[in-house]
Structures are given as C-alpha cells and as structure tokens.
C-alpha cells in the first residue's frame, strides 16, 4: 500500500481553546478513512488544516513522501486535495458544467466560452457515475444528491486524489445514500482516497476502511473498522459507556391538547387529521419530501392552507400567521436551526427573548429585568455555555447555538412543541440531552410532535408514530407495535405488504 | 493592552475620526471653533440628521429609503401652501407629519405586501413625491411665513437653536425605541434574520412597514424645519438629501445589510458630514471638489466598516 497523505503531531489553538493536540492522521491510496468525534472534537479543524484554510501551530504534513506547508486553500487544491463542505459551495443559478469549471472555463479565441467542449468534458467526467444528469441543468433544479455528485465531479476535474467529505449523507435520503456509497467505491477503485467525516456511525461500516476517533482535540484510536463495533466507536467518542441512549418513555393517557382536522393544501398535503395528548410524544415518520415539514408549517401558520381546522383543548383556534400560532401556545423548532432559528448577530438575550417580548412590556417598554431573569434561568437549566447574556450568538459553539434555539422556545411555556428533525447533524452526547429535554417537557404537561427521519430514534422516543407518505398520513403505530421494516415500508408507500428487510436497509435514514 | 486599543478603534473609530477632523479644522480655521459656527454646523446637520435617524431604522432592517428627500419636499410644499392659505400652525405641523406618515406607509405596504425590493419601491416614491411637489407648486417656491412659524427653524430655546433640540430629542427617543421596545428589538432581529423572526411568531411585515413610516415622519419633521428656516418651500428642496442621509447612517457604523448599528453612530455620522460641509466652505474649497471629498469619505467609512467585520 502506498501512503498518500501523512499528517503527524498536528496541533492548533485558537484564543482560549486548544482545538488539536498532536493528532496523527494518514490516508492510504484508494482508502476511505473515516474521522469521527463529538461536535468540537476537532474533526473540522483537522480537515481545514489539510485544506489549507487554517495553518497548524505544530506538526507536519506529508503528501506522497514530500513535506509540504500549505499557504492557503489554493495551494492545497493544486496539491490534489479537494474538500466537499457540508454547506455546498455551488452557485445555484449556474449550470452543472459551469459550476464544475468555475474559473477554469475552456475558452475559444476571443475569450468566448467553448460550451461544446465544456459539456463534453463534463459528460465524460460524469460517465462513471452512471446517472442521468444533464450538464446544462441549473444547480437549483437538481436535488441535493446530484449537487453532491457535482461537487465530486468538480474535485475529480481538479485532478484531486484526496477528497475530504464533511457529512456527505446528511441531506440525502436512503436510496441516495446507497448511490453515494457506490460512487465512493468507484472513487476508491480509481485510486482516490477519501477522508470521511460523519455522525452517522451505522453507515461507516458500509463505506469506510479505517476510522480515527477524536475526542477533545486528541486522537483516541485509529483502527480498521472491521475491528470495531458501533458501540465501541461511541465509547471512544464519549469516553464512557452510553448504556442507555434513549430515555425510558412513559405511556400516557392525558387529555387531548391539539386536534387537527382535514388539513389540506394543493400539491402539498391532503386531508391530514391527527391529535396529540398531554404528555405525549407524537412521532412523524416518513421520507424526506413526504410533506411532514410542510404539514407542520401549515398548522403553524407559516404557509397558507387551503382548508383544515385546528383545535386546542377542544376549542377551535384560528391560526393564520405564526403570531396566531405562538399566541395559541404552539412552538415550532425548525430543522435548519442556524438559518431559521437564530439571529446570529444578536445577543443570547435578544435571541432567547424573541418569543417573549410581547409578554413583558409596560406601555410598550420592555421590562428587561424580568426578561433577563427568565433567560438567565433557562440558560442555567439548559447548561448553555456563554460568558454573558450579551454575548453574540455567532461566537458560541454549534452545540450551544442549538441550545439557544431551544431556550427561545422553552421560555415561552407552550402547550405544543413541534420539533423538526431535532437531532439532525448533532453528536451522540447532544442527542441524548435533547431526548431528555423533550421528555421533561412532556412530563411537565406539554404535547411534543417530533418529525424525524431517524427510525430508531422515532421508534424509541414516540408514544405513537404517524407515517406520512405523499402528503397523507398513511398509518399509525402505537408504541411497541411494528418493526422498523414495517414503518419504513409504509413510508415508502408500499403499505404493510412489502415489509421486507431489503427495503428497510436502503432507506434506514 | 494592545488588544484594548484595537477594540477601542473598532468601537469608536468614527468618534476618533470626528475628533481628529474637528481638531484639524480648529488649527486650519480660526472661525471653526466659535460658538456661532459650532451652532451653525449642528443646526445644518439637524435637518438631514433627523432624517438619518429615521433612515437608521430602515437600514437596520436591511432596507433602504431613497425617497426621504422627495417626501421632505412634498410635505414642505403642501404645508407651506396651506399655511399661506391661512391654516393655523398646529394643524400645519400635524399635516406635515401626516404627509410623511402617508408616504412612508405607502412605501412600507408596497414593500411588504407587494414583496418588491425597497430600493425599487422607494426609487419610485422618490420620483412620485417630487412630481407631486412640482405639480402642487407649479415649479415656484412658496415663501414668506409668519414669525411664529419661522421660530421652528430659526428660534432658540435657552439660546440653543430649536432644530438642534428637535434633533437631539429625536436621537434620544429613537434610542429608547431601539433598545427598550419590541419595535426596536425586532428591527435589529429582522435585519439579522427575517425568517427566524417570522418563525418566532412575530408579524415581521408589520414592523417592516413601521420603519418606513418612521422614515417618512422624520422627513416630515425636517420639512417643517427647512421651510421655516429658509422662510420658503422650494420645489427642489431636499434633492440629493438621501445621499447625505444614507451617508450619515453608514458612516455612523450601521451595516447596510442590516442588524447592526446605533443611533449614536448616526448622530456622529451626521455631525461629521456637517463638519465636512462647513469646513470645506470655511477653507474656501470649490464646490466642485466638495462632492469629491464627500464621496471619498463615504467610501472610506464603508471600507472601515468592512475592516471592522473581519475576524480577529
């Protein structure tokens, strides 16, 4: 085996934090080497050093037996390292081909772009992927899976032999994940090495050869994946045994809090009816795009619905705006928490109080002491680590930002909390914390609605599961009823008939 | 210690620049630092400074209002016309503010309900309000008012000119609104991330409309002061004011993309522009060059802002 990349003794500090302490990492030719760890463990920092975005304080980087000192992202791209970031960096209004050749467009005499040549080259690049992807299609018109393929094709066109993938499967559905893995296997066969960052530990065994676990900036272990189970990896990540990832869920027969009748919107969902009880966690399972998020946004007044009635504690409420929803006691914690849940440039206080300013004013003036007290309490309860309430949210770590979004809703004391994919993209330890929080909300009498694409999660956490397919609720499971395979079969629109292991495997996420 | 200096520069860069320019002017012109001249500078700054306070709200939400100069003209012209027709002063003051409110409300509603970019809507309003002014005045100034009316722009209270008092009061009221009321906090939040605000159960469109109303009201206030001070409502009054107004806000450190800034910055920004205008006149710099200097200072201020945003 040929060693393509060797990073040794990499250290990096930021003001007040040591991000990496003498970490080693290497890539053999044609291997996938996974990098895992909790948020803040140092994965991203390590990869940014490899990408030339950060400069290491200490340590060496060797590429093919040659020591190099990255001078910036450009120098590393030239050296054959391409990074596919979690937030894709494509230009939505340009075509697939233009994105791949951005800044390197083939030209004809007179500076005109040689479109034919560009399209032909892109087709050649995409050929091994065996997809029907038109080089002329605009990026915004193709799905997230294809967008990722475009990023990979771009990397290949840059003659990259090392590709860093940061959480590549996060936006993908089950079938798309399989497709991506196939592409990664193709890359391996072509001698490309992949540094693979992921929180989805279950998928590592399918795609990676080796794994390195980081914890608090230190390398804990590097091992062939065949020698480690998922439980082993978790233990290394958190440094303790996570014997019980999901808290015990109590069965509840509380009275009905929320009832939705005949919620419809053309092209989005039709005749959706359900109810949620006090103290209950109601799971919404289904595939990405089944309409779960849209149903909740209609209920919440964020989108206009064609028809449908909403009852709270048996009384009909008119919800025509998010303001109506919040005043009636409904909270929606959106999926894209950073983009939809926070104002990054404002303080922890302003963000947390955004939902309660209307409750604490006298003659229009905000009673800051009251607000400060409530926010302070919530910050303490949730264990948000911030130097002060005046700290701008953008300076907090990702995990603490997540908690600020929660604090913003918890201070309002709502009756119904709708969580949209509450644990997407967060690490194991933080997940367990979120589960506990959801449960304590339920225990205190709230109704929780949880949209989740993570089947084990929804099956372990929810009292009841509603499966959504094509904008309709197609099946209800009570807790303990049904298997993952059965739920997945309904989510795929196959009914109970085709419940089989093969289907469930592909669409597990 | 070194870090502190950097931070000082970051937070108070504009104040430091202001002090330096004032010091330089004092050295270069013996007239600059006299009571008369200082009051004169501040009084002149008040007229666009008041509008700059309204503009601060708009820019904090990430919007822009190009129509304030024209709103000033139409509010000034119509109220002057009715004043000449024998209307009382109090109704005229109310009328000017109502005209400003109306224009601002139209801006705000078209922007929020029609979902059209603020730049386009207020560009249209800039043209419409100017045209209404010309139609109403038939192109002639309306001048010659009673001494009571002229007191608004020319009078003193405890030997402080009224426009300065109005300006400072506006700053204080705006500061209270921005820091102590929902409207204020939502103004910042909308500029920071409008989607988050909407998902937090807040009627963002309502508050966005209000900020244009505030800009309109401040244009109405400036209209009263300007017509009273000049003893005349000119059909071309306020032309080009939007530039000084926006410049004052931006120089004062309010981010054009919204979510960050303060009225204190705008206050200093307005005074700075006043000092520059005054200083160039005192030094006898040709008006042809004055615009050039102002343009460079505006761009320089935004560059400074850019540098402030760079991570440490």
On whether residue A325 sits in a domain, the answer given is yes
Residues of A in contact with B185 (CB under 8 A): 350, 353-354, 357, 366
What is the domain-level CATH number for residue B64? Answer: 1.10.3470
Confidence of residue B180 (pLDDT cuts 50, 70, 90): very high
For residue A501, what pLDDT is reported? 38
* Residue where one domain finishes, among candidates A391, A413, A435: A413
For residue B5, what pLDDT is reported? 60
Rounded Cα–Cα distance for residues A502 and A300 (Å):
37
Domains identified in chain A, total number: 3
Q: State whether A390 and A401 are in the same domain.
A: yes
How many of the other CB atoms lie within 10 Å of CB of A218?
Answer: 15
A354:B189 CB<8 A: yes
On whether residue B26 sits in a domain, the answer given is no
On whether residue A260 sits in a domain, the answer given is yes
**Sequential pLDDT tens for chain A (509 residues):** 788 999 999 999 876 567 899 999 999 999 999 998 876 678 888 999 998 888 999 999 998 888 988 888 888 888 889 888 877 788 888 889 888 888 888 888 888 888 888 888 888 888 877 777 888 888 888 877 788 888 888 888 888 889 999 888 877 777 778 888 888 898 898 889 999 998 777 788 889 999 999 988 889 999 998 898 887 887 787 665 444 567 766 676 788 899 999 999 988 888 999 999 998 999 998 877 788 899 999 999 999 899 999 999 989 999 999 999 999 999 999 988 788 899 998 999 999 999 999 889 888 899 999 999 999 999 998 888 888 898 888 888 777 888 899 999 999 989 999 999 888 767 777 788 888 889 889 988 899 999 988 777 888 888 899 999 888 898 899 887 887 777 877 877 776 554 443 333 333 33
For residue A15, what pLDDT is reported? 67
Q: For A395, name the nearest residue in chain B, comparing CA atoms only.
A: B311
Could you say which residues from 251 to 290 on chain B have a Cβ atom under 8 Å away from some Cβ of chain A? 259-260
Q: Give residue A408's domain range.
A: 342-413
On whether residue A449 sits in a domain, the answer given is yes
B199:A334 CB<8 A: yes
Domains identified in chain B, total number: 1
CA-based nearest distance A191→chain B, Å = 38
Q: State whether A47 and A126 are in the same domain.
A: yes
Q: State whether A380 and A306 are in the same domain.
A: no
Q: Give residue B257's domain range.
A: 38-307
Q: State whether A38 and A18 are in the same domain.
A: yes
On whether residue B123 sits in a domain, the answer given is yes
Rounded Cα–Cα distance for residues A85 and A88 (Å):
6
* Residue where one domain finishes, among candidates A238, A265, A292: A238
For residue A395, what pLDDT is reported? 82
Q: State whether A159 and A302 are in the same domain.
A: no
For the stretch B237-277, pLDDT in tens is 888 898 889 999 988 888 888 888 999 999 999 999 999 88
For the stretch B193-224, pLDDT in tens is 998 999 988 999 999 999 999 999 999 999 99
Residue in B180, B183, B189 closest to A350 by CB? B189
- Across chain B, how many H-helices and E-strands are there? 13, 4
On whether residue B208 sits in a domain, the answer given is yes
On whether residue A248 sits in a domain, the answer given is no
Q: State whether A226 and A308 are in the same domain.
A: no
Cα–Cα–Cα angle for B277, B125, B44, rounded to 5 degrees: 20
Q: State whether A386 and A372 are in the same domain.
A: yes
What is the domain-level CATH number for residue A206? Answer: 3.40.50.300
On whether residue B18 sits in a domain, the answer given is no
For the stretch B1-43, pLDDT in tens is 445 566 666 667 778 888 888 998 899 988 888 888 999 999 9
On whether residue B63 sits in a domain, the answer given is yes
Residues of B in contact with A48 (CB under 8 A): none
On whether residue A245 sits in a domain, the answer given is no
On whether residue A63 sits in a domain, the answer given is yes
- 3-class DSSP assignment, residue A9: strand
ipTM over 0.85: no
CA-based nearest distance A57→chain B, Å = 17
On whether residue A335 sits in a domain, the answer given is no
CB pairs under 8 A between A and B: 76
Of B285, B289, B275, B293, the residue nearest B40 (C-alpha): B275
CA-based nearest distance B197→chain A, Å = 8
On whether residue B224 sits in a domain, the answer given is yes
For residue B308, what pLDDT is reported? 64
Helix axes B241-251, B263-282, angle to 10 degrees: 120
A323:B201 CB<8 A: yes
The percent helix, strand, coil of chain A (3-state, each to 5) is 35, 25, 35
Q: State whether A106 and A228 are in the same domain.
A: yes
Q: State whether A167 and A65 are in the same domain.
A: yes
For the question of whether the overall pTM of this predicted structure is more than 0.80, the answer is no
Of A148, A161, A175, the residue nearest A85 (C-alpha): A148
On whether residue B21 sits in a domain, the answer given is no
The four Cα atoms B98, B104, B106, B111 give a dihedral, to 10 degrees, of -160
* Residue where one domain finishes, among candidates A365, A386, A413: A413
Residues pairing with A8 in the sheet: A60
Which of B184, B196, B253, B262 has the most A C-beta neighbours within 10 Å, making it the best mutation to test the interface with A? B196
Mean pLDDT of all residues in B120-146: 92
Q: State whether A303 and A371 are in the same domain.
A: no
On whether residue A244 sits in a domain, the answer given is no
In chain A the first and final C-alpha atoms are separated, in Å, by 34
């Amino acid at each position: 085996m040929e060693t393509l990349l060797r990073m040794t003794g990499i250290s990096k500090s930021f003001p007040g934090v040591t991000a990496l302490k003498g970490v080693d990492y290497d890539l053999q030719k044609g291997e996938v080497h996974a990098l895992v760890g909790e948020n803040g463990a140092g994965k991203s920092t390590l990869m940014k050093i490899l990408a030339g975005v950060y400069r290491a304080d200490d340590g060496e980087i060797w590429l093919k037996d040659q020591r190099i000192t990255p001078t910036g992202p450009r120098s590393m791209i030239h050296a054959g390292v391409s990074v596919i970031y979690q937030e894709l960096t494509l230009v939505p209004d340009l075509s697939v081909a233009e994105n791949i050749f951005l800044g390197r467009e083939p030209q004809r005499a007179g500076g005109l772009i040689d479109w034919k040549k560009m399209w032909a080259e892109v087709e050649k690049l995409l050929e091994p992927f065996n997809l029907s992807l038109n080089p002329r299609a605009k990026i915004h018109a193709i799905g997230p899976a294809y967008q990722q393929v475009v990023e990979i094709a771009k990397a290949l066109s840059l003659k990259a032999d090392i590709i860093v993938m940061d959480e590549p499967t996060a936006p993908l559905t089950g079938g798309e994940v399989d497709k991506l893995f196939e592409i990664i296997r193709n890359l391996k066969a072509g001698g490309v090495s992949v540094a693979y960052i992921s929180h989805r530990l279950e998928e590592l065994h399918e795609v990676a050869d080796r794994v390195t676990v980081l914890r608090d900036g230190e390398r804990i272990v590097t091992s062939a994946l065949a020698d480690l189970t998922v439980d082993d990896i978790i233990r290394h990540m958190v440094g303790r045994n996570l014997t019980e990832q999901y808290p015990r869920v109590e069965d509840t027969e509380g009275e009905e809090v929320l009832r939705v009748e005949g919620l419809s919107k053309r092209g989005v969902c039709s005749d959706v009816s359900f109810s949620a009880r006090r103290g209950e966690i109601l799971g919404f399972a289904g595939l990405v795009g089944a309409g779960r998020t849209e149903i909740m946004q209609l209920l919440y007044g964020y989108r206009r619905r064609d028809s449908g009635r909403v009852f709270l504690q048996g009384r009909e409420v008119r919800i025509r705006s998010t303001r109506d929803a919040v005043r009636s006691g409904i909270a929606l914690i959106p999926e894209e928490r950073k983009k939809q849940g926070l104002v990054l440039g404002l303080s922890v206080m302003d963000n947390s109080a955004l939902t309660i300013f209307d409750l604490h004013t006298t003659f229009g003036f905000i009673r800051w002491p009251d607000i400060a007290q409530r926010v302070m309490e919530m910050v303490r309860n949730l264990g948000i680590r911030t130097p002060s309430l005046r700290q701008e949210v953008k300076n907090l770590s990702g995990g603490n930002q997540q908690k600020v979004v929660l604090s913003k809703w918890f201070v309002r004391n709502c009756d119904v909390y709708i969580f949209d994919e509450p644990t997407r993209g967060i690490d194991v330890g933080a997940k367990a914390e979120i589960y506990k929080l959801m449960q304590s909300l339920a225990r205190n009498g709230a109704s929780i609605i949880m949209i989740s694409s993570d089947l084990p999660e929804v099956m372990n956490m929810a009292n009841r599961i509603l499966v959504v397919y094509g904008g309709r609720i197609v099946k209800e499971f009570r807790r303990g009823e049904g298997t993952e395979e059965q739920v997945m079969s309904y989510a795929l629109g196959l009914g109970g008939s085709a419940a089989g292991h093969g289907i469930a495997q592909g669409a597990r996420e | 210690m070194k870090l502190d200096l950097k931070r000082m520069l970051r937070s108070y860069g504009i104040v430091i620049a202001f002090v330096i320019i004032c010091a330089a002017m004092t050295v270069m012109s013996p007239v600059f630092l006299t009571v008369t001249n200082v009051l004169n500078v501040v009084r002149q700054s008040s007229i666009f400074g008041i509008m700059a306070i309204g503009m601060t709200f708009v820019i904090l939400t990430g919007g822009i209002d190009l129509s304030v100069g024209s709103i000033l003209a139409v509010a000034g012209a119509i109220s002057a016309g009715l004043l000449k027709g024998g209307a009382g002063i109090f109704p005229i003051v109310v009328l000017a503010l109502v005209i400003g409110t109306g224009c601002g409300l139209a801006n705000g509603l078209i922007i929020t309900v029609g979902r059209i970019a603020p730049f386009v809507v207020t560009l249209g309003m800039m043209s419409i309000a100017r045209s209404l002014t010309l139609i109403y005045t038939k192109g002639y100034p309306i001048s010659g008012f009673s001494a009571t009316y002229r007191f608004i722009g020319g009078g003193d209270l405890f030997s402080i000119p009224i426009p300065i008092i109005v300006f400072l009061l506006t700053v204080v009221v705006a500061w209270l609104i921005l820091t102590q009321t929902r409207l204020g906090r939502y103004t910042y939040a909308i500029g920071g991330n409008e989607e988050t605000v909407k998902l937090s159960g807040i009627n963002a469109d309502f508050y966005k409309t209000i900020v244009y109303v505030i800009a309109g009201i401040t244009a109405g206030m400036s209209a009263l002061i300007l017509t009273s001070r000049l003893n005349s409502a000119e059909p071309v009054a306020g032309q080009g004011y939007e530039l000084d107004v926006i410049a004052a806000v931006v120089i004062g450190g309010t981010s054009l993309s919204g979510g960050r800034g303060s009225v204190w910055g705008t206050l200093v920004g307005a005074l700075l522009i006043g000092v520059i205008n005054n200083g160039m006149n005192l030094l006898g710099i040709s008006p042809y060059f004055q615009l050039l200097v102002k343009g460079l200072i505006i761009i320089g201020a935004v560059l400074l802002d850019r540098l402030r945003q760079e991570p440490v």
